[in-house]
Structure 1
């Protein structure tokens, strides 16, 4: 299940306010920002995971994905720009 990051009513960013341990039922309450990685789409998260598992080799990723190197490079550049914008919003 994908963690929601936007309010279904007004589309504003959601914040984390409660964490819960399933084993001992301890609860941690507070107001926390959503980690940057969690603010990405599932597809974007998967791309980053593949990037890490490929040791940062865009050539290897392009081969695995069946895409051209420039296409994969552009996807990475788009993600870098998105991270910069998300950081600026903090």
Structure 2
């Protein structure tokens, strides 16, 4: 599966999601669909957010999970 594009490769305008498709039953749903704020983050930022939530926001636990220092987590 391709990574979601955020901008048009031709004119650089923002892209919007207008169709969802089920590859199992071949159903398509068309419309204008919003995206969550988390999808605007980079892959690294998304991974950090997932870790942060899994650790219930406990910075010490995030530090351990990511094997990085406390000041790095805070920044």
TM-score tier, shorter chain, comes to 0.7 to 0.9
Residue of structure 1 equivalent to 2:59: 58
Number of paired residues? 74
* Rg larger for: 2
TM-score by length of structure 2 reads 0.81
Unaligned runs of 5+ in 1: 75-90
Runs of 4+ in 1 over 4 A off after TM superposition: none
Unaligned runs of 5+ in 2: none
Q: Which has the higher contact order (CA 8 A, sep 6+)?
A: 1
Larger proportion of helix: 1
TM-score by length of structure 1 reads 0.70
